[in-house]
A and B are shown apart, each in its own frame.
Chain A
């Protein structure tokens, strides 16, 4: 399920429109994931508050989106580009890789809300493929 040149162009186009609101988008996607899939809260038991507006959620939402933005620039070799992040997730964070899909879905939901007309099925396909590829690269070092 590798990314075609058209997929990459679509992802870059949307990222261009999203990067200015990265913090908001990240916080929104993360809040939705924590609420819809409460099991994901288990990774954040050290936070003071997990509610949508909380500083921890906002800050981490931004961190995640910065990571995704970085991945967008490294789309031609995600495995190499995300090596350090993969090591972090594998050895330190040890997030069960199933959870990457759960966050991905919520990123797609936020995009659908932001771009109701432009987030066509073809755009959805391209972004979903990218997020799957990203998740795969992120879990590369797990075992």
Chain B
């Protein structure tokens, strides 16, 4: 089981409570699709992904970004058992969506960059440590049920 200090819990909770899920979700997913274009392979049914501009304006991608953030919200609400909370989601990504788990790390890195831009200097070293710890637990849980 992952151990969280009170400080880490407070940091993660605070980040989420100040987050616009739609804005951050859209920006993070778009950034991932643009910076790591091979991730577009999983979004064949999402309409026009021709270039950065079309990706940034794509409503299906925006909606999916929001969905992802709400998924992260579940991890926030179950921080002491992210592994089991995500068991079904992990199986979904493995068996149905066939997503290479390395992509979770790429999206996590884009999320970190977007949050850093949003928070500016408030995204201190300590904040980043807690945030990336949270994301690495999420990424690990999402890859856990692959077989």
Please list the residues of chain A having a beta carbon within 8 angstroms of any beta carbon in chain B: 31-32, 35-36, 52, 105, 108-109, 112-113, 115-116, 119, 121-122, 124-125, 128
**Is B35 part of the binding interface, using a Cβ–Cβ cutoff of 8 Å?**
yes
Q: Which of B5-13, B16-24, B85-93, B121-129 has 4 or more CB atoms under 8 Å from chain A?
A: B121-129
Which of A35, A36, A116, A125 is within 8 Å of B35, CB to CB?
A: A125
Chain B interface category by residue count: 20 to 34
B35 x A124 contact (CB < 8 A): yes
Closest residue of B by beta carbon distance from A105: B109
A121 x B31 contact (CB < 8 A): yes
C-alpha gap A119/B114 in the complex (Å):
10
Which of B34, B56, B119, B123 is within 8 Å of A125, CB to CB?
A: B34
A113 x B116 contact (CB < 8 A): yes
CB distance from B55 to the nearest CB of A (A): 8
Question: Interface on chain A toward B: helix, strand, loop, or mixed SS?
Answer: helix
**Which residues between 109 and 123 of chain B lie within 8 Å of chain A, taking CB atoms?**
109, 112-114, 116-121, 123
Please list the residues of chain B having a beta carbon within 8 angstroms of any beta carbon in chain A: 30-31, 34-35, 52, 56, 109, 112-114, 116-121, 123, 125-126, 128-129, 132
A35-B128, A36-B132 known; 12 new pairs, CB 8 Å cut-off, are A32-B128, A35-B125, A36-B129, A109-B113, A112-B114, A116-B120, A119-B117, A122-B52, A124-B34, A124-B35, A125-B34, A128-B35
A32 x B125 contact (CB < 8 A): yes
Which of B52, B120, B121, B126 is within 8 Å of A121, CB to CB?
A: B52
